[in-house]
Amino acid sequence: MTDPAAHSWSGVSRGPLRPGEWVRLVDAKGRRHNICLEAGKSFHTNRGGIEHDDLIGRDEGFTITSTSGGEYLVFRPLLNEFVVSMPRGAAVVYPKDAAQIVAMADIFPGATVVEAGVGSGALTCSLLRAVGPTGRVSSFERREEFADVARKNVTQFFDGDHPAWQLTVGDLVEALPGVEGPGTVDRVVLDMLAPWECVDVVADALAPGGVVVAYVATTTQLGRTVETLRAHGEFTEPQPWETLVREWHVEGLAVRPSHKMNGHTGFLVTARRMAPGNPAPRKKRRPAPGAYGEDYSGPRPVGVGENGEHTPG
């Protein structure tokens, strides 16, 4: 690990490659290999071997040839490359969604951010980068084995224990009040199976104007989360969306969409905390007929009866 006093805690290294650093090798067909440099060791592929010593001491951004003639680009991995190839305990939040969370939740330098759950630590890396060493990210994870994987991944990416990160193994509803005081949190990010179960404790922790963002995988989770935030009464109207990313193939006159696409990975929902005791304005638009029928079992907005009928008040 580098000197903590001189560490930028950005996860970005400069200068010659050093033992203990991770590098990414990419061959002519785009196949990728991440290796940790270690003096005296070698890395073997189907195109022959590469000596670590031939990489150590050089500036990244060069091509090296293996013993069987295979050419490989050599770079330090970017954050978006690191998170999709790092060891996993739980599924990772992919870069396209992490970028949306950082931007749309307005994660800023110096912010106090609560994250639950931590999964494999992919989103944690993005949050720590955004808050910087003067901010704070309090992560909560129910499962010890996932927390262990996340801890290793985050430590590996930042080359040490990040001073802004606190990881708590436990349930958010039970543990959050003992870690963060009422109204002291700027942002809350929920990446869990049932984020609606945490709305009350999140509301207590968030400062007025704070943002909650939930990341869920299914439409049923999305609906339950949005309706619970509405029913709470002291959050602004929840905003749900998803992001689709499509690459393009560009070669001469052949300019077309790629056959591969980063389609649905998850839904995102954001809402802002009203000041305690100040209810959010009610939606003016009436729900569609049948939206809250007899089969609906989730929370209902004010003005919708048990059979889906509109009621006064």
In a domain, 162, yes or no: yes
Question: Torsions phi, psi of 48, nearest 5?
Answer: 100, -175
More confident residue, 307 or 151: 151
pLDDT 10s digits, 162-206: 999 999 999 999 999 999 999 999 999 999 999 999 999 999 999
In a domain, 10, yes or no: no
Maximum Cα–Cα distance across the chain = 79
Domain with residue 253: its CATH number is 3.40.50.150
Do 204 and 262 fall within a single domain? yes
Domain boundary pick from 33, 59, 77: 77
Counted domains in the chain = 2
Do 99 and 173 fall within a single domain? yes
Can you spell out the DSSP letters for 268-284?
Answer: EEEEEBPPTT-PPPPP-
Domain with residue 56: its CATH number is 3.10.330.20
Can you spell out the DSSP letters for 5-40?
Answer: GG---SS---SS--TT-EEEEEETT--EEEEE--TT
Do 125 and 59 fall within a single domain? no
In a domain, 264, yes or no: yes
Q: Is the pLDDT of residue 305 over 80?
A: no
pLDDT 10s digits, 45-88: 888 899 999 999 999 999 999 999 999 999 999 999 888 888 78
In a domain, 193, yes or no: yes
Distance separating the N- and C-terminal Cα atoms of the chain: 61
- Percent of the chain surpassing pLDDT 70: 91
Per-residue model confidence (pLDDT) at position 285: 65
Averaged pLDDT, 113-124: 94
Do 38 and 51 fall within a single domain? yes
Q: Is the pLDDT of residue 295 over 90?
A: no
Do 31 and 93 fall within a single domain? no
In a domain, 292, yes or no: no
- The pair of three-digit structure tokens given for residue 130, joined into one six-digit string: 């955004």
In a domain, 11, yes or no: no
Q: How far is CA 59 from the centre of its chain?
A: 30
Do 61 and 192 fall within a single domain? no
Do 208 and 152 fall within a single domain? yes
- The pair of three-digit structure tokens given for residue 200, joined into one six-digit string: 């009350």
DSSP H helices in the chain: 79-85, 95-104, 122-131, 144-158, 172-179, 199-205, 219-232
Q: How far is CA 202 from the centre of its chain?
A: 18
Q: Is the pLDDT of residue 304 over 70?
A: no
Do 86 and 22 fall within a single domain? no
Per-residue model confidence (pLDDT) at position 309: 61
pLDDT 10s digits, 12-31: 888 899 998 889 999 988 88
pTM: 0.84
- The pair of three-digit structure tokens given for residue 114, joined into one six-digit string: 């609560």
In a domain, 113, yes or no: yes
Taking Cα atoms as reference points, which of 96, 140, 99 lies closest to residue 121? 140
What range does the domain containing 115 cover? Answer: 82-272
In a domain, 89, yes or no: yes
282-286 own/partner pairs: CB under 8 Å, 24+ apart: 283/230, 283/237, 286/310
